[in-house]
Homo-oligomer: A and B are copies of this chain.
Amino acid sequence: MPPVVEIRNIAQFAGQEVVIQGWLYNLRSSGKIVFPLIRDGSGIIQGVVVKSAVSPQVFEHARGLTQESSLRAAGKVRADARAPGGFELDITGLEIVQYVPIERPYPITPKDHGIEFLMDHRHLWLRSSRQRAILGVRHEIIKACRDYFDDRGFTLVDTPIFTPAACEGTTTLFEVGYFEDKAYLTQSGQLYNEATAAAVGKTYCFGPTFRAEKSKTRRHLTEFWMIEPEVAFAHLDDAMALGEGLVAFVVERVLAKRRSELKVLERDVAKLEKVVPPFPRLSYDEAVKILQGKGSEIQWGGDFGGTDETLLSEGFEKPLLVHRYPSQVKAFYMAPDPARPEVALCVDMLAPQGYGEIIGGGERIADEKLLVERIEKEKLPPETLGWYVDLRRYGSVPHSGFGMGIERVVAWICGLEHVRETIPFPRMLYRLTP
């Protein structure tokens, strides 16, 4: 039997007999020739079945193929400059593995389906070219993020999903029964990262995080993945440079390796090619002025909403670093700017084209006394934060880090309208299946 090969490797087998295993993606026919478009998950290839060249059974099989029927096709690989992947398969043998009967056809057809129908059939919808392209870009983004930190001497230290108590208020936390006790699902690994940064110097965690937010917007999921680096002896400027480097590296990698996926997604790559350092940096003060100039009702001291973020990023072709927000709108652990204690040494990175915040972070409070004051002021449970205060008692150092939400980065790089397509099985306020 000829070798079973993957379509992604087809060029290595030009002129040879091979077997392709996959599914029927589409079928064209012109009486005496049938063109089954076959996908195997690694790529797509057009098969050619000529009636006069094959047995009657093979021809009938080919002509009757239904969408998503599974099959094994044997034939010779032929270079063809007109073919999308550069090759076609002259089929000589065809085995149907499972035939999808015409009376119970594959539910997703080339016609338009409503989004709820597609989401209900997410387990099948993932087979479409567009969804597979997104999966491929997502894979590349995640790999690039890990490579970026691994190549720079960071140690991956995965932080726990079960956390004992609410650090930033309980309203957006998911509660879990934990034997006789209760636990909460993590919203961020940052506090733990601060402990491990003191152990390994440079650390990152990368896992799912959870928000029980009752928002039904195109930017929110209840379950999403976040990568969070934390660096000992690093200041705000270091965190900004690290985030800038990461985002530029990720975009460059996707452009280098996933051009064909971006083409399927009809992404304007010229816009992505502009994402090279340096990224513009803007203080919150300057950002407020720009927004007011554009008609926003934002006042100094308030946080930006999604509309403000979109308005702000409009004038920029690259991601925008906005730093030094008022401390009052940021988390309790953010270090105040020594020169202006009313603002925090923090930074948000806003993606271009209205994709909103993709990075949030900054420098953490290193001083024990100040941290304890903040915990008291925000009425946080001191008994569950004792270990966190310990980090300021035993070899405290300046340290900074950030979190980058993967789904928003995928949405931006792929140019998607809604984050629900950025993750294989999205979880939202009204969506827990399949």
Binding site for B on A (CB under 8 A): 4, 6, 8, 21-24, 40-42, 68-70, 97-98, 100, 104, 106-107, 121, 123-124, 126-127, 131-132, 135-136, 138-139, 142-143, 146, 150, 153, 155-162, 164, 174-179, 181, 183, 185, 192, 195-202, 207-208, 210, 212, 214, 222-223, 225, 232-233, 366, 384, 387-388, 390-398, 423-425, 427, 429, 432-434
Contacts and interface: CB of A to CB of B under 8 A. Distances in A.
Given A126-B157, A139-B156, A143-B156, 18 more contacts: A21-B232, A21-B397, A22-B201, A41-B198, A42-B202, A70-B397, A97-B398, A123-B192, A126-B195, A126-B199, A135-B157, A135-B196, A161-B223, A162-B427, A176-B185, A178-B222, A192-B424, A207-B207
Contacts of A390: 121, 123-124
A147 B69 CA distance: 32
Nearest to A205: B424
Contact of A434 (B100, B121, B387): B387
Nearest to A123: B195
A201 B155 contact: no
A100 B394 contact: yes
A139 B202 CA distance: 13
Interface centre among A41, A126, A164, A387 (most CB of B within 10 A): A41
Contacts of A70: 395-397
Given A42-B201, A174-B178, A179-B214, A208 B397 contact: no
A77 B177 CA distance: 54
B423 A158 contact: yes
A413 to B, nearest CB: 16
Q: What's the number of copies of this chain in the assembled complex?
A: 2
A209 to B, nearest CB: 10
Contacts of A23: 198, 395
Contact of A207 (B164, B208, B393): B208
A347 B238 CA distance: 49
B160 A425 contact: yes
Given A157-B135, A223-B160, A123 B432 contact: no
A282 to B, nearest CB: 28
Interface centre among A207, A395, A397 (most CB of B within 10 A): A395
Given A139-B155, A179-B214, A100 B42 contact: no
Nearest to A40: B201
Contact of A394 (B68, B150, B214): B68
A220 to B, nearest CB: 13
A164 B181 CA distance: 22
Contacts of A429: 179
A177 B157 CA distance: 28
A22 B156 CA distance: 19
Contact of A153 (B6, B210, B392, B433): B6
A116 to B, nearest CB: 15
Contacts of A179: 212, 214, 429
Given A23-B395, A146-B143, A424-B159, A177 B174 contact: yes
